[in-house]
A and B are shown apart, each in its own frame.
Chain A
Amino acid sequence: DARVTQTPRHKVTEMGQEVTMRCQPILGHNTVFWYRQTMMQGLELLAYFRNRAPLDDSGMPKDRFSAEMPDATLATLKIQPSEPRDSAVYFCASGLEVGTEAFFGQGTRLTVV
């Protein structure tokens, strides 16, 4: 059963610490998305990749967030330094080609205290 896998599922960290979230897209999918979900802002697109190249990361705060795809089986989202306002659920999704559905992972619930 193919699925997007995100780790960790939950993360509590102190303000100022580095946080790394990982995503394993579905094998063969060439598009990867990072979304952030909060009560106030809903689902915000942070970044997305096609064939491991970043297409758009305009939704990300550049000073503290970075997204990479070291290889086709791993996408990472890093926050350094983390702040309480970064507390949210971060979703990774992957897709096969333009116009097809995106498959979502279970999310990483981040709490920054």
Chain B
Amino acid sequence: AQSVTQPDIHITVSEGASLELRCNYSYGATPYLFWYVQSPGQGLQLLLKYFSGDTLVQGIKGFEAEFKRSQSSFNLRKPSVHWSDAAEYFCAVGDSWGKLQFGAGTQVVVTP
């Protein structure tokens, strides 16, 4: 069975600073990996995804993530955060049946 761990429940970052959110997964085969963002009262929006190929993937809103098989990680990064990036971020792993398993989420607070 697949599982996802997001070690950081809460991160505070200054506007303009860089951001990195950690994600570790457990899955027996090559996983499908996703990062979603959720603003308050909203559904989840896909930021980016990894299926195969280049291990550095670019997403929307200036986000990128790097798949590292040796570390079972798929960390999300942004070089310079904006106040509008304050939200909750979820990492997810999908199996060959399409079942998505989400991590617990990381709440990002952006300070002026």
Contact = CB atoms under 8 A, between A and B. Distances in A.
B102 A99 contact: no
Interface of B: 32, 34, 36, 42-46, 49, 51, 90, 94, 96-105
Contact of B99 (A56, A91, A105): A56
A106 B40 CA distance: 11
Given A42-B104, A99-B51, A104 B98 contact: no
Interface of A: 4, 31, 33, 35, 42-43, 45, 48, 50, 55-56, 91, 93, 95, 97-99, 101-107
Contact of A97 (B98, B101, B104): B98
Q: Is the interface of B mostly helix, strand, loop or mixed?
A: strand
Nearest to B49: A101
B43 A31 contact: no
B44 A104 contact: yes
B97 to A, nearest CB: 6
A95 B46 CA distance: 12
A33 to B, nearest CB: 7
14 contacts: A33-B100, A43-B90, A43-B105, A48-B99, A55-B97, A55-B98, A97-B98, A98-B32, A98-B97, A98-B98, A101-B34, A102-B46, A102-B100, A106-B42
Given A98-B97, A99-B32, A99-B51, A43 B46 contact: no
- Among A35, A93, A101, A102, the most chain B Cβ lie within 10 Å of the Cβ of A101
